[in-house]
């Protein structure tokens, strides 16, 4: 009996020590996340600096002209291989612009219930934001348009999320 009691107390002591260690690790995790977040932010700053420093290549000029002409499909087809950083950037920009144009004509109303499908709208806005965030280079001729489109997408995603949350709470 004494041995069983001793074993149970020992097991509790070991388990409580492990639990305390895990709690301590969880508390230190946010500091690690802050360091990672700071590093991520400094990386974004570098990317922003690189965007303004990068001299456009002939390839950049070609794809910029195609984007300005709204020929997104051609840009996507020619850049999908990601053979260069330029191709990656223009693929992402063309995809964001194409998705934005598609959203203008897309109906987000469910025909069976006659209610807006906020989930699809939020998802589409987030796709635009992700594509823009992936582009490390934005041509000067399009910088304002792309920044406005991203800002609009962020605002509308937040607004639609609020509406979705209201609907969810009401049900």
The total domain count for the chain is 2
Q: State whether 90 and 125 are in the same domain.
A: yes
**What gap in Å lies between CA 123 and CA 108, rounded to an integer?**
12
Q: State whether 61 and 41 are in the same domain.
A: no
Cβ atoms of 117 and 31 within 8 Å: the answer is no
pLDDT in tens, 89-137: 999 999 999 999 999 999 988 888 888 889 999 999 999 999 999 999 9
**What gap in Å lies between CA 116 and CA 110, rounded to an integer?**
6
Q: State whether 171 and 120 are in the same domain.
A: yes
pLDDT band at 45 (very low <50, low <70, confident <90, very high): low
The pTM of this model reads: 0.67
Q: State whether 18 and 88 are in the same domain.
A: no
- One DSSP character per residue, 102-147 reads HHHH---B-TTT--B-HHHHHHHHHHHHHHHHH-S---GGGHHHHH
Q: State whether 64 and 27 are in the same domain.
A: no
Q: State whether 77 and 99 are in the same domain.
A: yes
pLDDT in tens, 31-44: 444 555 555 555 55
Q: State whether 61 and 135 are in the same domain.
A: yes
User: Strand, helix or coil at 148?
Assistant: helix
3-state class percentages of the chain: helix first, strand second, coil last, to nearest 5: 80, 0, 15
Q: State whether 16 and 28 are in the same domain.
A: yes
Range of the domain at 144: 56-171
């Amino acid at each position: 009996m004494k041995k069983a009691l001793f074993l149970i107390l020992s097991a509790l002591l070991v388990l409580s020590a492990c639990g305390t260690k895990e709690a301590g690790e969880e508390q230190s995790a946010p500091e690690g996340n802050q360091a990672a977040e700071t590093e991520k932010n400094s990386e974004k700053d570098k990317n922003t600096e690189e965007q303004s420093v990068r001299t456009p290549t002939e390839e950049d000029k070609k794809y910029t002209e195609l984007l300005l002409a709204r020929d997104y499909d051609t840009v996507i087809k020619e850049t999908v291989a990601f053979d260069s950083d330029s191709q990656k950037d223009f693929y992402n920009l063309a995809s964001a612009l194409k998705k934005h144009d598609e959203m203008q004509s897309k109906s987000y109303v469910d025909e069976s219930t006659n209610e807006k499908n906020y989930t699809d709208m939020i998802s589409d806005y987030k796709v635009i934001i992700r594509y823009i965030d992936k582009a490390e280079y934005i041509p000067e001729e399009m910088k304002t348009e792309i920044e406005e489109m991203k800002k609009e997408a962020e605002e509308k995603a937040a607004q639609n999320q609020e509406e979705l949350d209201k609907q969810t709470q009401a049900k």
